A and B are shown apart, each in its own frame.
Chain A
């Protein structure tokens, strides 16, 4: 494809994608559950079998994270997602309530545009394709330009498997010559039924602004509170497992540790014992200058998904080669760049006097760019876990769990596994759910007549009597029932 697309080329590309997708959507409506499930099974098997080459390709192309961890992400996106959705009814009548007289029929939504980030490219592609196939929705994959090759290969593998299992032609398409114009053009195209937008805030905002219904995500800024009753070594082990996973590229990874003074020293010691490096104040400044792009007010994209050693080197700090995590002690949130989301093995560290201060600080961090996303607590005190949860504006509050893997679901808890984590209205999303197949269905409800008996026995003319207020009406309504 030519490097520069003319406006006519762009429109022709968009029209081609949507025309083929609309036809695939039409053909898909004829498929029954059995035929649909056979396609899902085939796509899962093909994706799972290629989990390692795809992870290596993603790592090689994007330069982010660790390929071994990307393998795990691909496993979650195939095996875990498949096991979560395989027995779900997604075609035809999926629910009946005889008493209420309601029958629910699942209908596909139509062509879906899947926007894919560079941080989790192959896994998010696999996930979106699987949930779309399960719901008989064709999908067009629009990857980050940094991940077009690995997303294209993932889509190609899934499409070949789907076709071999009898799926409609063009049920999976992918944009090879990704450009802003094509992505935005697809977003606003009236034939696109839904956008599954996972990525940076600019892209998600563009999806919402397109006027096409969108299931998007919000930015994370996950506070992790280590409460007095927590086991320090257990908490440290789990935080490291989460924050170093794929070099911190999951938006649900911990961003700031909050701990009461009583636990602060043992916690620092335990982190250091496990290879974390505690930054000195001057070093915090140096790290801040390299990880934060002051002009954009965002993390510097160069450090996303890089190792602790890489970031330290960039900041001119000498740390051991095997450093797992950089701990940055801070004492305020407002105006502090490191109190924002940093998708790398670097975490803010706050020490506070007591529980009320800890809770207030977590709330402050939560509202500092992470509203609606995820919060984390290590505690064995049920009352405090509940109070903390109620204080957070987060779709997921993970307890005694590595936050990255916990929020994604399916491994450490029974949340639906997902690579699109809804952040509710706080994150400008429509849901706080872990998005899954059920979100991609239009539900029809056949409503059989079930008369409202109190109303049927009530003299409706009384509503027209101006002398009667609600108290008099309520007295008569439902009488002798």
Chain B
């Protein structure tokens, strides 16, 4: 399941299950929004171990970025296949992918 914690650099880091499908996104979206609004530092979506993302997850990424601003949010540790998915969806143009 999803986990979140403030890392050693003060960023709020989210980690996700290996398949972030639509049903999971429905469950986690509200929690992410709430935590993001409560945190003042950087937001990191850490995709370590994530093998599959869906359009619903893209929407969470975009809405989070719109809430905090591009400079405060990063998507990191993307597996190559997932990175390609973000690139095809053209999200590299709006999100900071590392």
Query: Of B51, B53, B88, which one neighbours A22 at CB under 8 angstroms?
Result: B88
B57 (CB) vs chain A CBs: closest residue: A27
Q: Are B90 and A27 in contact (CB under 8 A)?
A: no
B54 to chain A, nearest CB (A): 5
Residues of B within 8 A of A25 (CB): 88-89
Q: Are A30 and B89 in contact (CB under 8 A)?
A: no
Q: Are A169 and B55 in contact (CB under 8 A)?
A: yes
Residues of B within 8 A of A29 (CB): 81, 84-85, 88
B1 to chain A, nearest CB (A): 19
Q: Are B53 and A27 in contact (CB under 8 A)?
A: yes
B62 to chain A, nearest CB (A): 10
Q: Does A170 contact B (CB under 8 A)?
A: yes
Q: Does B75 contact A (CB under 8 A)?
A: no
B89 (CB) vs chain A CBs: closest residue: A26
Q: Does A288 contact B (CB under 8 A)?
A: no
Q: Are B88 and A169 in contact (CB under 8 A)?
A: no
Q: Does A20 contact B (CB under 8 A)?
A: yes
B: contact size bracket: 10 to 19
Q: Are A24 and B51 in contact (CB under 8 A)?
A: no
Q: Mark A8-25, 1 if CB is under 8 A from B, else 0.
A: 000000000000101111
B24 to chain A, nearest CB (A): 13
Residues of A within 8 A of B90 (CB): 22
Q: How many A-B residue pairs have CB under 8 A?
A: 42
Give bound CA distance, A466 to B98, whole Å.
56
Give bound CA distance, A27 to B86, whole Å.
9
Residues of A within 8 A of B22 (CB): 169
Q: Does A345 contact B (CB under 8 A)?
A: no
Residues of B within 8 A of A24 (CB): 55
B21 (CB) vs chain A CBs: closest residue: A166
Residues of A within 8 A of B56 (CB): 169
Give bound CA distance, A78 to B35, whole Å.
47
Residues of A within 8 A of B89 (CB): 22-23, 25-27
CB under 8 Å from chain A, chain B span 14-61 = 21-22, 51-56, 58
A448 to chain B, nearest CB (A): 22
A110 (CB) vs chain B CBs: closest residue: B88
A: contact size bracket: 10 to 19
Q: Does B82 contact A (CB under 8 A)?
A: yes
A171 to chain B, nearest CB (A): 9
CB under 8 Å from chain B, chain A span 151-171 = 166, 168-170
Q: Are A30 and B55 in contact (CB under 8 A)?
A: no
CB under 8 Å from chain B, chain A span 1-59 = 20, 22-27, 29-30
Residues of A within 8 A of B58 (CB): 23, 26
Give bound CA distance, A30 to B50, whole Å.
11
Q: Mark B61-76, 1 if CB is under 8 A from A, else 0.
A: 0000000000000000
Give bound CA distance, A174 to B27, whole Å.
28
A19 (CB) vs chain B CBs: closest residue: B90
B88 to chain A, nearest CB (A): 4
Give bound CA distance, A168 to B53, whole Å.
10
Residues of B within 8 A of A168 (CB): 54-55
A20 to chain B, nearest CB (A): 7
B86 (CB) vs chain A CBs: closest residue: A26
B79 (CB) vs chain A CBs: closest residue: A30
Residues of A within 8 A of B53 (CB): 27, 30
Q: Are A23 and B82 in contact (CB under 8 A)?
A: no
Q: Are B85 and A169 in contact (CB under 8 A)?
A: no
Q: Are B88 and A26 in contact (CB under 8 A)?
A: yes
Residues of A within 8 A of B86 (CB): 26
Q: Are A23 and B52 in contact (CB under 8 A)?
A: no
Give bound CA distance, A24 to B57, whole Å.
12
Give bound CA distance, A328 to B93, whole Å.
63
B87 (CB) vs chain A CBs: closest residue: A26
Give bound CA distance, A25 to B85, whole Å.
8
Query: Which residues does A use to contact B, with CB under 8 Å?
Result: 20, 22-27, 29-30, 110, 166, 168-170
Q: Which 3 A-B pairs have the closest CB atoms?
A: A26-B89, A26-B88, A169-B55
Chain A to chain B contacts (Cβ below 8 Å), 7 pairs: A25-B88, A26-B88, A29-B84, A29-B88, A30-B51, A168-B54, A169-B22
Question: Could you list 16 further interchain pairs (A-B, Cβ under 8 angstroms) beyond the known A26-B85, A26-B86?
Answer: A22-B88, A22-B89, A22-B90, A23-B55, A23-B89, A25-B88, A26-B87, A27-B54, A27-B85, A27-B89, A29-B84, A29-B85, A30-B52, A30-B81, A166-B21, A168-B55
Query: Which residues does B use to contact A, with CB under 8 Å?
Result: 21-22, 51-56, 58, 81-82, 84-90
